[in-house]
Amino acid sequence: MAKKVTKAIFPVAGLGTRFLPATKSVPKEIMTLVDRPLIQYAIDEARAAGIKEFIFVTSRGKGALEDYFDHAPVLEQELRSKGKTELLETLKNTNMDSGAIAYIRQHKALGLGHAVWCARRLIGNEPFAVILPDDVIAAEKPCLQQMVEAYNETGGNMVAAMEVHPERSSSYGMLDVDDDQGELVKIRGMVEKPKTEDAPSNLAVIGRYILSPNVLKNLNQLKSGSGGEIQLTDAIAAELTQGHDVYGYRFKGQRFDCGSKSGFLQATVSFGLARDELRDDLYAYLQDVMMIDKAAQ
């Protein structure tokens, strides 16, 4: 039986340049999707999957991220004195117990593999998850929870997988499939951001991983790969050459790339429509916009 996954790494050291000027003073992970920052969606998903220890790989200028998960005594007292118990309950989800979160600095932007490697001493010899907050996944059962349940049966290493248009291959790590079992895919190779004609399949790696501690040892040996960065994909692919299993998991849910403006806006509309108190007004507004657009044509 696979060892239980209780630790997760959140690589949040990026500068968020695609969202400038907002990210000049606000970490991208704190930008709000409806009324919750991106990082809260990631934390809630990790909690649902049984994660107990949260490791943030950060960089200079991420202080607001640390403050977000701290208690806010003045705010809490103000809400309590005004009897706003519902809002107090909402705040509870943003508070983390002392010692539950660890912050590690990535001093140089050397890629996702390097960010994960920075947390090696806190992982030790245990399997661990990696969650990229930019990838927000709307699902009835949270994506990482789906993966943990599958991993408990398979062990090894597991990456979230999603079919993408061949022309988008150069934006993803792509899977070379050995045995396609539907929900679960056994992998024989991985290629980081290949040209369309070189992609081994249309299955792309999305920002959820469950990894063996061996991957950290592989990262120790790696030199820079695609884009001059240390690629996590290369370290996972090395597991295959060492005789260890790697699986792709076709998750149930809709993924939004909130690292892009377009994806962030799409997620905002989708999550807004999913909220009972917002749906009617937002839907009516969108219908009005579409009518005006049609009339203009």
Domain segments of the chain: what residues? Answer: 7-159+205-259
Helical spans, DSSP H, in the chain: 38-48, 63-68, 73-81, 85-92, 112-118, 120-123, 143-154, 214-221, 232-241, 261-273, 276-296
Q: Quick check: 11 and 57 in contact, CB under 8 A? A: yes
What are the φ/ψ torsions at residue 246 (nearest 5 degrees)?
Answer: -130, 130
Range 7-159+205-259 classified under CATH 3.90.550.10:
yes
pLDDT number for residue 1: 63
> 25: helix, coil or strand?
coil
Tokens of 131: 């969650």
Crossing angle of the two packed helices 85-92 and 73-81, in degrees rounded to 10: 150
Q: What angle do CA 99, 235, 43 make, to 5 degrees?
A: 30
List the one residue out of 121, 113, 246 whose CA is nearest residue 186: 246
Contacts of 143 (CB under 8 A, 6+ apart): 45, 137, 160, 208, 251, 253
Question: CA-CA distance, 181 to 142, in Å (whole number)?
Answer: 21
Which residue type is seen at 114? H
Question: CA-CA distance, 136 to 38, in Å (whole number)?
Answer: 8
CA atoms within 13 A on the CB side of 54: 27
Q: Is-cis flag, bond preceding 21, omega within 30? A: yes
pLDDT number for residue 105: 87
Sign of CA dihedral 87, 88, 89, 91: positive
Mean pLDDT, contiguous 10-residue spans, the chain (297 residues): 88 85 85 92 95 90 79 86 86 77 85 91 94 95 96 94 89 86 89 84 92 91 65 89 92 94 95 93 90 71
pTM recorded for the entire structure: 0.88
DSSP β-bridge partners for residue 159: 209, 248
Question: CA-CA distance, 196 to 153, in Å (whole number)?
Answer: 33
